[in-house]
A and B are shown apart, each in its own frame.
Chain A
Amino acid sequence: MDRFPSIILAAAFGCFAISMLLSAVYPWAITDASQAEASIADVAANITEEFADLKKSYPVSFRQKLGEAAAAADAPLEAMQAAHAEALQRGRDLYIAEGCWHCHSQFVRPVANEEARFGHIRTPAEENNALQRPVLWGTRRVGPDLTNEGGKRSNDWHVAHLHNPRSTSPGSVMPGYTWYFRKGFQVFRRIDPNKAEVANIDPDTSYPYPGLYDTEEEAREALETIKANLDPTVAEEGDRLFVRESVGPDGDALCIIAYLQWLGTWFPEKPTEE
């Protein structure tokens, strides 16, 4: 390198080093350096109400994705925590892969009435966890911010919204994520039309029991169990249990929803109310 002016190399490496020092090392040193990054197990330790509900509402998909141990009705806390951690990790990965973060920020700013609209502003300590690596702040909002999404809406709302966003938010431009839904067989119950009228329910409405089974036989078995356990004072003549094809969220959809329902529920230090 006889003629290579070292001054160009100095400019290239030197200026880059200065920038790293000022915009990466320095902010790290005064925020995250003093505290270890929280692991996924840490952030999953507190099981959200909605995660427990996902297990009850979608037992088959839950079992298929997150295992028998956690799917059991009397699953020990450790098994549920492990399943929660797995769901958060998987949900976060899908949130990244589908580019959700291109249109939904996780970044509430202390201006433009954002705190009033979206709630709590995150501190560096709250963001220093494995699910924020890489950070998911986002730079564009076509949809609302999701920083504090956890617990804001029901699981069922999220299922319907994920399948067809316009069903819950008319006018939305979000795509439907139908490939996270699977077909199967489900037990339905049609209520006695006379009773439905009293209860002010559309007489044609039949409602599903939790559990979307892959085969019709499994669904029929489930039907028998339900029938055997029906409360005779409620089950009257005219009520009808039947099996029919249906669509429901698969395990991946449950992971995405578990992740959304977790957002904003985990804090290393709970803010004190004053």
Chain B
Amino acid sequence: MSEAAAISIDDVRDEAHPLVDKDLVRWHLIAAVFFMFTAMLGGFIASLQFLNEYPFNGISWLSYGRLRFLHTNEVAFGFLVNSFVGMLYYAVPRLTGRPLFNRTLGWLIFFVWQALVLLTSIGQLLGKAQAVEWGETPTGFRPGTFELNYVPVDFLIEVGAVLLAINLLYPIAKSIHKRLYVSLWYITAGMIWLILTYVMGNTLPEWTLAGSSGGATAGLYIHDLVGLFVTPFGWGLMYFFVPIILRKPIWSHALSVIGFWALAFFYPLNGVHHFLYSSIPMSVQYGAIIATIAVEIVVTTVVVNFFGTMWGRGYALRQSIPIRWFYTGMVFYFTTCLQCSFQTTLTFQEIIHFTDWVPGHAHLVMLGVFAFWNMGMIIWLWPRLTGHEWYSRRLLGWHYWLVMLGLLIMFLDLTAAGLVHGFMFKNMAPWMRIVDSLKPFWWFRTFAGAMIITGVSCFIYNLWMTAKHDKPYDYRVDLVHDPKEAIANG
């Protein structure tokens, strides 16, 4: 990582020809935070339906079912894509020593992407959604025909992803370094997988394959969007930011490459585990189960590598808020994946499938891991992008504890609810008895959601005030090599 550190110093010196277009990065992060908040608010309001306290009953376009589309799709396409793209626009030029392919193209992608996310949400609220989880983005065509009934968002997202790939893969191809750092492996492959996955998931189950074959590809899509788009970008950026902040190289480069190959091979084979006991052939289901358990080995190598890197820098957890977010996320990542290798077995599936256990798991991975990492990265980058010191470090602490504890409560609560549901169901309890038993858990879930929203509101207020107030950020902090001093001030 010494190369990346050296480039960052050059960048500070040469303001006239910066490697990174800071405005582009900043606006992607602003869009990301905006969609994160609307998505979370959507999820919170939707949770009120479970308490029969839903405020918009009777308004078709704000009904619970449609708002739920908005919640999951804005998290994926509004929050995570924007945040990752902003971070990649920052990291890739620094890792390769080359600016993006084209800055104007970058701005074009930015505006088109925000329009597409908004059109997705509007289309879903108007009833144009499709029935592939996370692929609910409107095709714009009436199902099974070529009659347009809305903007063809699916198709435009595919074009946008290809343009993004051109912008990001060009500097990687022209890198000034002979060897590519492991981040660039993840980013290159992740970019290609994003395109392949999106095209696969938005064509096969909707246009060509019905029933069980379509179910297999829909399962692949749900899983690949997490495993082949979010995960490689997330880890790629962790491999970039953690060594920079800790001022030491990654513990083992060999382990990092093993992690990459194992992810590339095993992750895409997992998809069918979303539909165990279905009419998909049993041999395929067993294959997916074995591949899922194998992923746990990958995860262990990666997590060991990062905790090895942390060795001797434990105080960073207390002093550096970004590191705290990153490593909390890694602990949750390990938990999620460990959970995965158990819950993918047929024994666990019998009880937990179709219950609240599954949303608990989904929140742990999407919020507890990837949103945590992105918020940590935003916290590290924001002073460097705006040139202002953080408005309030105390509020950053409130943000961390509210969101972290809120998520923990939500996860434990939904997991317990899932077990109650699963066992009552198996024991033939009448359906309404099950629903009544789950209501206390749903109240807790809404409470946890309120904690998370409050924490994120602290964060947004802090971001806003940091951009507005006038205490300048001291760039010399980035030039300090002594880890103790750098971490304490960074």
Contacts and interface: CB of A to CB of B under 8 A. Distances in A.
B464 interface: no
B278 A133 contact: no
A15 B268 contact: yes
B261 interface: yes
A201 interface: no
A113 B429 CA distance: 11
B335 interface: no
Given A16-B268, A96-B129, A112-B425, A24 B213 contact: yes
Contacts of B169: 4
B269 A22 contact: yes
Contact of B432 (A112, A123, A171, A179): A171
A127 interface: yes
A94 B143 CA distance: 11
A19 B51 CA distance: 41
A51 B52 CA distance: 32
Interface string A159-195: 0000000100111110111110000000000000000
A135 B214 contact: yes
A126 B278 CA distance: 13
A31 interface: yes
A209 interface: no
Interface in A131-179: 132-144, 166, 169-173, 175-179
Interface string B33-75: 0000000000000000111101001101001111011000000
Interface residues of A, number: 77
A130 B279 contact: no
B68 A99 contact: yes
A124 interface: yes
A212 B392 CA distance: 63
A12 B189 contact: yes
A3 interface: yes
Interface residues of B, number: 97
B294 interface: no
A97 B358 contact: no
A32 B261 contact: no
A109 B57 CA distance: 33
Contacts of A140: 354-355, 358-359
Contacts of B265: 15, 18
Given A22-B287, A99-B65, A132 B211 contact: yes
Interface of A: 1-5, 8-9, 11-13, 15-16, 18-20, 22-24, 26-28, 30-32, 37, 89, 93-94, 96-103, 105, 107, 109-113, 116-117, 122-124, 126-130, 132-144, 166, 169-173, 175-179
Interface of B: 49-52, 54, 57-58, 60, 63-66, 68-69, 127-133, 142-144, 169, 172-175, 178, 180, 184-185, 188-189, 192-193, 196-197, 200, 204-220, 224, 228, 260-261, 264-265, 268-269, 271-272, 274-275, 277-281, 284, 287-288, 346, 349-351, 353-355, 358-359, 422, 425-428, 431-432, 435-436, 439, 442
12 contacts: A12-B188, A12-B192, A15-B268, A31-B279, A99-B64, A99-B69, A111-B350, A112-B350, A117-B425, A122-B279, A140-B359, A172-B435
Given A27-B213, A31-B212, A107-B275, 17 more contacts: A11-B189, A19-B269, A23-B269, A24-B213, A31-B213, A32-B211, A96-B129, A96-B130, A98-B127, A107-B278, A122-B279, A127-B210, A134-B132, A139-B133, A141-B355, A143-B431, A172-B435
Q: Report the 6 A-B pairs with minimum CB-CB distance, sorted nearest first.
A: A127-B211, A99-B65, A19-B268, A133-B210, A97-B127, A109-B277
